[in-house]
Chain A
Amino acid sequence: MNAVANYNFAYLDEQTKRMIRRAILKAVAIPGYQVPFSSREMPMPYGWGTGGVQVTASIIGPDDVLKVIDQGADDTTNAVSIRAFFAKVAQVQTTTHTAEATIIQTRHRIPERKLEAGQILVYQVPIPEPLRFLEPRETETRKMHALEEYGLMHVKLYEDIARHGRIATTYAYPVKVEGRYVMDPSPTPKFDNPKMHRSEALQLFGAGREHRIYAVPPHTDVVSLDFEDHPFEIQHFEHPCALCGAEQVYLDEVILDDRGGHMYVCSDTDHCEERREAGHVGVLGMQEAAE
């Protein structure tokens, strides 16, 4: 026996896990509804994924394989820190490969590779209430969800069209889950919204500061709000990824110099790496190889 005092498995105490687990089960039973839970202080600041971390800590077991991404990347501070956190407090295996992971915690992207049955995607959510910027009072937004009164959201989208000629919302684009609750998909680019629709994977959302958990079970309708004459559209990119040549993926702009040079590369680093390993080469990837 190790005599040195240690953390409980996955950091949280068992009573907290039970409370969060009960909230998750209710969230799964009522897709898109935000279940209040008693969020705990975590050893990281709010805004760094305390909600997602608490959800992950409550579901993770010794046999799970964890992947953490931040804006699609496995190698940014937030992703590396959370992966190291669970490797330390839960001794779980971690990975950067989407296909190998059983639990994927994400900040603001959905992996490009299609998720499979049995995988769980855990979102870090800053503001879970899609109506919050339209109606600041919780008592009112709760009533609006209860009465399925979502006219205000359509007015907001309409005002976008009146002002810009199109729906200008590009991330945290509101969706309707199973024809009932309007839900904030967290600040993922709207490019990812179609991936939520009838996904094979279970999707769990944790908002630590705001004390809310919600869920979308597999095979559940997730429809982006739109109008008949202004249908929902995802972003389109003119060029393929500069490193791997991928098309139909979400790209990040990378500034190369101070003379306006830039390139667009896959936001999903694992997807990009796998493609390059498989021999796909983009415009700038070739140059790199020739050096």
Chain B
Amino acid sequence: MLSHDFGAGFADPVVDAQAAFRAFLDALANPGTQQKLAGSSDGSAALGRELASTLLTLSDHDTTIWLSPALDVDAVKGFVGFHTGASVVDDPAKANFAFVALGDAMPELARCNLGTQEYPDRSTTIVVEVPALDGGAELVLRGPGIRETQAISPVGLPADFVAQWGENRELFPRGVDLLLVAGGQVMGLPRSSRIVEA
């Protein structure tokens, strides 16, 4: 039987969702910068605080979400169903949002919904929990929202990430957008960002 303990949502749903949204907005408007994600949802054992806050802020019954294997468990599906009403899909190509737990592999970017040339906004946004946003191999970004260049060094990206992101950038205006979360912070990589040095 399904447990009824789904984990807590936001303590103050209106204010907390607004604060989290502004963190996502600042993250995507200033790619590569780290923004404080003031999530007050504790999530649950299987669902980290940052992913829980993202779920609560951006998904509802109008959205489809894909869950990585570690999240594809009753506790998380209960959290999603109870707090958001979003429908869980088994293919990232059908998802508005793809959520990836710490340690799980990110879906290949090309396997997600890339939008269409007419409606590029219909693409998947991938939200990935990584071990840390600093300390990994340095990548240098250029693009809208960046004055000159922005160096980032998140840990835990796939080995072929630079190649995948390059292909994603080539599709512009189609392509996926990426939010990386770790330690109460969020970093945005919109499709418009280019990796110029790796």
| B-binding residues in A (CB < 8 A) | 8-9, 14-15, 17-19, 21-31, 33, 35-36, 58-62, 142-143, 145-147, 178, 180-181, 202, 215-221
Contacts and interface: CB of A to CB of B under 8 A. Distances in A.
Contacts of B164: none
A30 to B, nearest CB: 5
Contacts of A33: 120-121, 173
Interface stretch (B128-136, B142-150, B155-163): B142-150
A23 B14 contact: no
A28 B121 CA distance: 10
Given A29-B190, A180-B172, A217 B144 contact: yes
Contacts of B15: 9, 61-62
A219 B58 contact: no
Nearest to B174: A30
A24 B188 CA distance: 14
Contacts of A218: 29-30, 145, 147
A25 B125 contact: yes
Given A19-B62, A26-B121, A9 B14 contact: yes
A219 B145 contact: yes
B25 A24 contact: yes
A217 B121 contact: no
Contacts of B62: 15, 18-19
A28 B146 contact: no
A31 B192 contact: yes
B192 A147 contact: no
B95 interface: no
A30 B173 contact: yes
B146 A219 contact: yes
Nearest to A118: B26
B69 interface: no
Contacts of A35: 121
B89 interface: no
A138 to B, nearest CB: 10
A30 B22 contact: no
Contacts of B28: 25, 28-29, 217
B177 interface: yes
A21 B145 contact: no
A92 to B, nearest CB: 11
B174 to A, nearest CB: 9
A-B interface, 8 closest residue pairs, ranked by CB to CB distance from nearest: A29-B190, A217-B145, A26-B121, A146-B117, A220-B144, A217-B29, A217-B144, A29-B177
A61 B19 contact: yes
A180 B169 CA distance: 13
B24 A30 contact: no
A35 B116 CA distance: 13
Contact of A220 (B14, B120, B145): B145
A9 B120 CA distance: 31
A141 B28 CA distance: 27
Contact of A14 (B14, B125, B190): B14
B183 interface: no
B118 A142 contact: yes
B22 A61 contact: yes
A18 B58 contact: yes
A215 B145 CA distance: 11
A60 B17 CA distance: 11
A28 B22 contact: no
Contacts of B120: 26, 30, 33
B59 to A, nearest CB: 8
B138 to A, nearest CB: 21
Given A29-B28, A29-B177, A219 B147 contact: yes
Contacts of A58: 21
B49 interface: no
Given A28-B25, A59-B22, A178 B192 contact: yes
